[in-house]
Structure 1
Amino acid sequence: MKALVTGGAGFIGSHLVDLLINEGHEVTVIDNLITGNKENINSNARFIFMDVCSPDLETVFTEHGPDCVFHLAAQASVGESIKDPIKDSEINIKGLINVLENCKKNNVKKIIFSSTAAVYGTPMSLPITEEHITDPISFYGVSKLAAEMYIKTYNILYGIDYTILRYANVYGPRQNYNGEGGVISIFINRILNHEPPIILGTGEQTRDFIYVSDVARANLKASISEDVGTFNISSGTAISLTQLLDSLSYIRSVKISPLYQNHRIGDIAHSCLENRMAELKLNWKPIYKLEDGLKITLDYYTEHQSNLVKGAIHK
């Protein structure tokens, strides 16, 4: 397979590129390196420095002729989407349309789109199934939902096959721990800097954490599946932030005491995604237990401790 991975220098994208290369596929990566890191890119992948909104994207498609596009390039910060909804929409909607137009012109067989649990908004029931109402409470969730609708409409009008993957809280090595990165990388960042993790709220809020290698494997499974549809990619298990810190304390054999700050308006109290449809249709289910993924992630950041940045708080 000739694969094009947008955002392939990023956290999830770079893990996907590694997996595709290991499976023997030919991979082209495009990334503007605003949030991605060139050091993340597998040396056996072809790298093109480019923004997905660029008109030059057409050249990439015509010269490299991908069979499948994995679209991970995005503005992925809820906070930034609130501060600058125009920029959020330009990247997450305009960039996606640019990719879809080039898929149409170049007869790309399939697009795999990285979406998010943020499209659901505040859960009406748990665990959240794919049939749950979509009612996002952030511009990030809105732009991702709009992107999903564009993809479905391109399928109806032009026959471009697709798989939409709605991720729970992804964690693992290479995740950005600065600003609004994932809670696990931010907690580890502060722990390794001998600073107490900061919890906004009581710590009883729950999240569904899924290890990045499982997410990469879901993308690969989606690329070979004949099913067109939308699937939750998750562990299917909820854990509170207090329990998360307890697990990190156990791994490090030291008591970790957090600082508590006021709950942030707009944060969802509880989130857990059901992953049964992905298992049924994509033949995918998570392999990594949280404790195992946490240990791998902690070991990674310990090894790269000299690059850690102080001052981040949880998402």
Structure 2
Amino acid sequence: MHYSETDFNQKNILITGGAGFIGSNLAFYFQENYPTCNVVVFDLFRSEATFSNGNLKSFGHFKNLIGFKGEVISGDINDDEALNKLSSYRFDYIFHEAAISDTTVLDQGIMVKTNVNAFKTILELAKVNHSVVVYASSAATYGDAASPQRVGHEQPQNVYGFSKLSMDHLAREFCAQNPTMSVIGLRYFNVYGPREYFKNTTASMVLQLGLQILSGKTPRLFYGSDKIVRDFIYIDDVVQANIKAAVSGKSGVYNVGTGNPRSFQDIADILQKELGTALGTAYFTNPYRAYQMHTEADISFTCKDLGYAPRVSLEEGIKAYVPEIQRIFKCEVNHG
């Protein structure tokens, strides 16, 4: 499916974090729709290295790129030498997805270095090539701000959200100094869909509950989960937002969600309907003192400025995703 009338054939495209969830989906979108575009994936890929919280330092995984025919470069965005090698490619578009996306990482220095300082190097690379830049910002910039969340009303509660907001400030300053450049930040809300499995514990509730159900366990939710709502967005709509942003000629920061929040209970119920189970729900007390009960993206400017329009409802997204969740359970969970 083409999300834009722009022809990306013959264009040079860089996707940082291209072995991750959103990056790999973008890589396949271009490969499937524009067979002569040149896509370069740059990713750290996973190793045994972990942060102090025990989680992996990189969620990039080769299995997300099986079938991808473009060039793949292993590199760290914190390594200026590695990034400098990319300057010879003359990229038309840069999709910057590489980041530490684990919100529980406590090492503030590495978070800021990876998410903010490396982004400046990406912007400088874009300036040389006059590339369009679309980068991953985050709904974490809003912290526990009241719904609907709107650009300009941020109050990050962790260093991850702070780092993403710092990226937005950096992009704004860069565009003020380079007014002919197009740099767009996309604040993703709760994304779910194929190729997220290797995010491990940071994968979506849709995948985690789906795997619980397939293992025969009753899905576990906090008491009151019918009132805990999030703006869940299917990966196809996130890809759409990236493409629309890339061709918009705009600069700025935009929310990427559906504007239609749904509950955790809805997810569990839809999954059981699609999987043909009737396991009910096991409720337990929410252990978190501070817990966000409601997120909802204000997407009015995203629709107006970028021509974005969310197409996939939660029911449609889960229905499309279920065969992949079943494959993951069979091939990865049981034989991983």
- Report the alpha carbon displacement of residue 110 of structure 1 after superposing the two structures with TM: 1.7
Deviations 1:13-64, CA, capped at 9 Å, x for gaps: 1111111223323211100112111122252221101111112234432221
Q: Contact 2:145–2:155 (CA<8 Å) still a contact in 1? A: no
Alignment of 1:132-143 (within 5 A): 133-143=153-163
Give the match for residue 321 of structure 2. Answer: 297
Q: TM-score, normalised by structure 2?
A: 0.85
Counterpart code for 2:17:
G
1:255 aligns with 2:278: yes
Alignment of 1:180-191 (within 5 A): 180-191=202-213
Alignment of 1:120-159 (within 5 A): 120-124=142-146, 126-131=147-152, 133-159=153-179
Out of 14, 26, 35, the position equivalent to 1:16 is: 26
Out of 56, 60, 71, the position equivalent to 2:81 is: 56
Output the CA distance in 2 between the equivalents of 1:265 and 1:18.
Answer: 41
Moved >4 Å (runs of 4+): 307-310
Q: TM-score, normalised by structure 1?
A: 0.90
Give the match for residue 259 of structure 2. Answer: 236
Counterpart code for 2:40:
T
Higher relative contact order (CA 8 A, sep 6+): 1
Out of 216, 229, 233, the position equivalent to 1:194 is: 216
Give the match for residue 309 of structure 2. Answer: 285
The total of aligned residue pairs comes to: 305
Output the CA distance in 2 between the equivalents of 1:215 and 1:154.
Answer: 24
Output the CA distance in 2 between the equivalents of 1:172 and 1:29.
Answer: 20
Rate the CA distance shift 1:95–1:198 in 2: closer, same or farther, 3 A. farther
Out of 188, 191, 205, the position equivalent to 1:167 is: 188
Give the match for residue 313 of structure 1. Answer: none
Out of 268, 272, 277, the position equivalent to 1:245 is: 268
Counterpart code for 1:175:
E
Counterpart code for 1:171:
Y
1:74 aligns with 2:99: yes
Alignment of 1:184-223 (within 5 A): 184-200=206-222, 202-203=224-225, 204-223=227-246
Rate the CA distance shift 1:264–1:99 in 2: closer, same or farther, 3 A. same
Deviations 1:255-276, CA, capped at 9 Å, x for gaps: 2323424232443111011222
Out of 139, 146, 149, the position equivalent to 1:117 is: 139
Calculate percent identity across the aligned residue pairs: 27
Q: Contact 1:72–1:114 (CA<8 Å) still a contact in 2? A: yes
Which one is further off, 205-214 or 273-282? 273-282
Deviations 1:170-208, CA, capped at 9 Å, x for gaps: 000111362222211111122222233333453121101
Give the match for residue 50 of structure 2. Answer: none
Structure 1 residue runs of 5 or longer lacking an equivalent are 311-315
1:2 aligns with 2:12: yes
Q: Contact 2:145–2:154 (CA<8 Å) still a contact in 1? A: no
Give the match for residue 179 of structure 1. Answer: 201
Output the CA distance in 2 between the equivalents of 1:213 and 1:186.
Answer: 19
- What's the secondary structure of 1:287's corresponding residue? coil
Deviations 1:273-294, CA, capped at 9 Å, x for gaps: 1222222111111111211110
Output the CA distance in 1 between the equivalents of 2:120 and 2:131.
Answer: 16
- What's the secondary structure of 1:178's corresponding residue? helix
Q: Contact 1:168–1:273 (CA<8 Å) still a contact in 2? A: yes
Counterpart code for 1:250:
K
- What's the secondary structure of 1:15's corresponding residue? helix
Out of 70, 91, 98, the position equivalent to 1:45 is: 70
Deviations 1:113-148, CA, capped at 9 Å, x for gaps: 111111112123x322334x1111111100110011
Q: Contact 1:2–1:65 (CA<8 Å) still a contact in 2? A: yes
